[in-house]
């Protein structure tokens, strides 16, 4: 029997959960244990010889974490998923698992700063080379692939902070011309509600579950989803490197992710409204939001995404101090790094992530001093727009 795949709301609320839990609980219990008891040595043999599936030791698996992994796999439309203690633990474990000395990775330049740092300063110590390419330049991306050496193309979509969207069918077509290359998409900003890269043929999908999947600014976690054969190797390396998710955090993640579809739809709606409002505001120089026709990747986003996400970046007219005064005059968004939770967060990338650089150095990597990043939460759009309007009025 084939039936229509379940929608993201159903997958979020119900996916991956066993129908009957211990003590008849409707929710997944927090299994708080570091190790698991065997009935006798015969069971140990059965376990190691693959006749039974069971847990062994906390670094290799935990039922609470496993339930969250099954739920995220279902949301991503993937065969399997493995969770880590943070998004960076997922990213670094994937890079270490997929690359070895003498190999090469191609990566888009507009991306999470710490991933970029790991690729450009840590991987070279193990003889792994890299090339950064501008998002949207598919010619440069394909030209950067070194036959027999390049094993991975890593891209975020949408990117941080300019919300560039990678054309996934185009990227997959490039990969298919170069045997041995895999694609890893950091889909943190998209969430499985707005885009499911696995369905386009992408090999591996990463989420900083700290952001939308958790959704409440109360945990750190990271996930990798893909084919079971690929995930199994990543799970093995996690067991060695040890960046496992604590079962308490896994429970918070499970609880948070149940409302993912509701939250993200609301955030899509609010962000689109705020972006349009900002674009018409006389104090705003430029807005970056893939839902706006003015965004360079609007067409790509409209083709492959079902929503444009909850992050809006914009330049306030003036310089560093004008943007800072505007941010300080807001009262509803909280001034903090991160995104994806129920609370709106606002930040100035030039200060938050790139403070040690000069204005010229920041511009060289594309970060303008007057850039503001607003990650909308689930507050009422009317209240957010009113607060931003008031902040422009009082900071002029």
Ligand X SMILES: *Cc1c(COP(=O)(O)O)cnc(C)c1O
Of the candidate spans 41-49, 197-205, 207-215, 366-374, the one that interacts with ligand X by CB under 6 A turns out to be 207-215
* Site of tokens 């809006």: 312
Binding of residue 222 to ligand X (CB under 6 A): yes
Of 169 and 337, the one with the shorter C-beta distance to ligand X is 337
- The residue length of the chain stands at 396
The terminus-to-terminus CA distance of the chain in angstroms comes to 63
Q: How many residues bind ligand X (CB under 6 A)?
A: 15
Interactions with ligand X, residue window 172-191 (CB under 6 A): 186, 188-189
**CB count in 10 Å sphere of residue 351:** 14
Q: How far apart are CA 16 and CA 1, in angstroms?
A: 20
Choose, by CB under 6 A, the member of 210, 223, 330, 353 that binds ligand X: 210
Of 222 and 291, the one with the shorter C-beta distance to ligand X is 222
Tell me whether residue 251 is one of the annotated catalytic residues. no
Tell me whether residue 321 is one of the annotated catalytic residues. no
Binding of residue 211 to ligand X (CB under 6 A): yes
Of 188 and 395, the one with the shorter C-beta distance to ligand X is 188
Interactions with ligand X, residue window 250-269 (CB under 6 A): none
* Site of tokens 């989420």: 207
Nearest Cα residue to 314 out of 343, 271, 269: 271
Binding of residue 223 to ligand X (CB under 6 A): no
Beta strands in the chain (DSSP E): 80-84, 104-108, 129-133, 150-156, 182-186, 204-208, 222-226, 284-288, 311-316, 334-335, 345-347, 371-375
Tell me whether residue 162 is one of the annotated catalytic residues. no
Q: How far apart are CA 38 and CA 55, in angstroms?
A: 10
Tell me whether residue 100 is one of the annotated catalytic residues. no
Task: Sketch the per residue contact string, 145 through 164, with ligand X: x for CB under 6 A, - otherwise.
Answer: -----------x---x----
Q: How far apart are CA 75 and CA 217, in angstroms?
A: 20
Task: Sketch the per residue contact string, 84 through 123, with ligand X: x for CB under 6 A, - otherwise.
Answer: --xxx-----------------------x--x--------
Q: How far is the CB of 183 from ligand X (least distance, A)?
A: 16
* Cβ(212)–Cβ(191) below 8 Å: yes
Task: Kindly list the catalytic residues.
Answer: 59, 112, 186, 211
Residues that bind ligand X (CB under 6 A): 86-88, 112, 115, 156, 160, 186, 188-189, 208, 210-211, 220, 222
């Amino acid at each position: 029997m084939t039936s229509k795949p379940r929608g993201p709301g159903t997958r979020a609320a119900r996916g991956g959960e066993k129908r009957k839990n211990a003590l008849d609980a409707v929710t997944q219990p927090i299994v708080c244990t570091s190790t698991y008891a065997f009935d006798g040595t015969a069971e140990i043999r059965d376990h190691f010889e693959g006749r039974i599936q069971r847990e062994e030791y906390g670094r290799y698996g935990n039922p609470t974490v496993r339930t969250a992994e099954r739920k995220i796999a279902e949301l991503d439309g993937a065969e399997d998923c493995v969770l880590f203690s943070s998004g960076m633990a997922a990213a670094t474990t994937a890079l270490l698992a997929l690359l070895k000395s003498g190999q090469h990775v191609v990566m888009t330049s507009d991306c999470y700063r710490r991933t970029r740092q790991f690729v450009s300063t840590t991987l070279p110590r193990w003889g792994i080379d890299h090339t950064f390419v501008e998002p949207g330049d598919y010619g440069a991306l394909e030209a950067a692939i070194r036959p027999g050496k390049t094993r991975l193309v890593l891209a975020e979509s949408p990117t941080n902070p300019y919300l560039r969207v990678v054309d996934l069918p185009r990227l997959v077509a490039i990969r298919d011309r170069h045997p041995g290359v895999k694609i890893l998409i950091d889909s943190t900003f998209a969430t499985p509600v707005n885009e499911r890269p696995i369905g386009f043929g992408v090999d591996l999908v990463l989420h900083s579950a700290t952001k939308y999947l958790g959704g409440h600014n109360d945990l750190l976690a990271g996930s990798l989803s893909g084919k079971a054969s690929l995930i199994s190797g990543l799970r093995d390396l996690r067991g060695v490197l040890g960046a496992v998710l604590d079962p308490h955090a896994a429970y918070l993640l499970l609880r948070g992710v149940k409302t993912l579809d509701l939250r993200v739809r609301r955030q899509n709606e609010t962000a689109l409204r705020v972006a349009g409002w900002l674009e018409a505001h006389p104090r705003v120089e430029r807005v970056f939001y893939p839902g706006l026709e003015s965004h360079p990747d609007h067409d790509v986003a409209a083709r492959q995404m079902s929503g444009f996400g909850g992050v809006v970046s914009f330049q306030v007219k003036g310089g560093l101090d004008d943007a800072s005064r505007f941010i300080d005059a807001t009262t509803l968004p909280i001034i903090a790094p991160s995104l994806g939770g129920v609370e709106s967060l606002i930040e100035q990338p030039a200060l938050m992530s790139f403070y040690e650089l000069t204005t010229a150095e920041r511009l060289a990597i594309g970060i303008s001093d007057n850039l503001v990043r607003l990650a909308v939460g689930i507050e009422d759009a009317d209240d957010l727009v009113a607060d931003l309007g008031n902040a422009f009025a009082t900071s002029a």
